[in-house]
Amino acid sequence: MRTVFKAACWLGLALLTGHARAITVFACEPEWAALTRTLLPQATVRSATHHLQDPHHIEARPSLIAQLRNSDLAVCTGAELESAWLPTLQARAGNARVQNGQPGMFYAAEQVELIDPKKGGASAFAGDVHAQGNPHLHADPRRLLTVARALAMRLGQVSPAHKATIEQQLPQFERDLNARMAVWAQQASALKGRGVITQHATFGYVWHWLGMSVLADLEPKPGMPPTAAHLEQVLAQAKAKRPMAIVVAQHHDPKPARWLAQQLGGTTPLRVLPATVPDDQPGALLRWLDGLVSELAQTQAAAKP
């Protein structure tokens, strides 16, 4: 009897929630998929990319065109991160809702100020320079909060039927994030002023947030794969400046970083970290940031003599 009652309750709930049709969301990167799921758990969210892919180098695949065709809202980074593939998807999807300037096209980079803008644009020889600034902004929890507030508004605009849910979920996320930020500040206090060797500006916002500095970059120019001559220079810099660690993303080729770590004879640990959320479970964003901070804090603690 009780199971029948339970089943009836679930069915009723399903009918009620099904009544207000959940929206379909196309996220360019997994962090925005995670944020959308946090703010509107009923939404059908698919991420175009995952943490083992370099978001600069995605192809406008047929499956992605079909995904965008069927979406009510696209949530992307902007600032030219997706310039090699998103415009093609928008041009081919035949979906008026997700064109630039429409409520269904949300760019996170338009909600916050970016670090390291490059004035005057880029030449063909400067590598993959983003004139508007570093687009990998999701690794800064303060900017993430600003984006979350703007995205909540946008979700409510695109899906008015779910406004009540979104208005409940946003303050919850704010509380959770603020609570974690207090913990992270404590964990990361010893990281301030430390230097790392890194590859690309992938974790640029992490260094900025935690007060750390980049002593050298494995890429000779942004987006350009490391060359032997450049790696020799980085090795010399590493020997002179004694970095806390070499930190690269999981989607980078690990070989140059491994070579450097080997040349340094085990004095400098190598950390290969995910550049974005590696799973699509609830709470993924906070878990991922947790992982980043604790990994760096542990590396720092271990480096102490």
Partner 1 sequence: MPPLFRIAPQSPRPRVLAALVLTGHLGLSMAQGLPRPEAWEAGVVLDVASSSQALALGARDKGLGLGHSDLLVRGPLGQHLSAEANVGLHTQDRQLEAHIENAWLQTRSLPAGLQARAGRFASQIGYLNEQHPHADDFSERPLLYRALLGGHWYDDGLRLNWTAPTPFYLRLGAEVFKGKQLVPQAPAISGAGARTLNLKVGDDLGESSSWQWGLSRVDNRRVTEVAAHEPDAADHDHAHAASYSGRRMWVSDLVWKWAPQGNNRQQQLRLSWELAEISGIHRDADPSLRHRASTLAAVWRLNPSWELGLRSDWLRVQQAENDAGTVHVAAGRLREHAIMLAYKPTHMQTLRLQLTQQRAHGANDEGAPVFANPARRSIVLQYVISFGAHGAHSF
**Contacts with partner 1, residue ranges (CB under 8 A):** 50, 52-54, 56-63, 65-66, 69-70, 78-80, 83-84, 87-88, 90-96, 99-102, 105, 107, 110-113, 117, 120-125, 127-128, 131-132, 150, 221, 223-225, 251, 253
In whole angstroms, what is the distance from residue 246 CA to residue 148 CA?
31
Q: How far is the CB of 296 from partner 1 (least distance, A)?
A: 24
Q: Which amino acid is at 55?
A: P
Sign for the CA dihedral angle at 181, 304, 242, 255 comes to negative
Name the residue nearer to partner 1 (CB basis): 33 or 296.
33
Name the residue nearer to partner 1 (CB basis): 29 or 191.
29
Name the residue with tokens 């770590």. Answer: 261
Q: How far is the CB of 15 from partner 1 (least distance, A)?
A: 24
Name the residue with tokens 């085990």. Answer: 266
Name the residue nearer to partner 1 (CB basis): 117 or 193.
117
Distances from the Cα of 174 to the Cαs of 141, 146, 170, 216, 247, in angstroms? 10, 10, 6, 35, 29
Bridge-based pairing of strands 44-47 and 105-107 is unpaired
Name the residue nearer to partner 1 (CB basis): 20 or 122.
122
In whole angstroms, what is the distance from residue 195 CA to residue 211 CA?
9
Q: How far is the CB of 282 from partner 1 (least distance, A)?
A: 22
Q: How far is the CB of 12 from partner 1 (least distance, A)?
A: 29
Half-sphere exposure of 121 (CA within 13 A, CB side): 2
Name the residue nearer to partner 1 (CB basis): 62 or 265.
62
Q: How far is the CB of 84 from partner 1 (least distance, A)?
A: 7
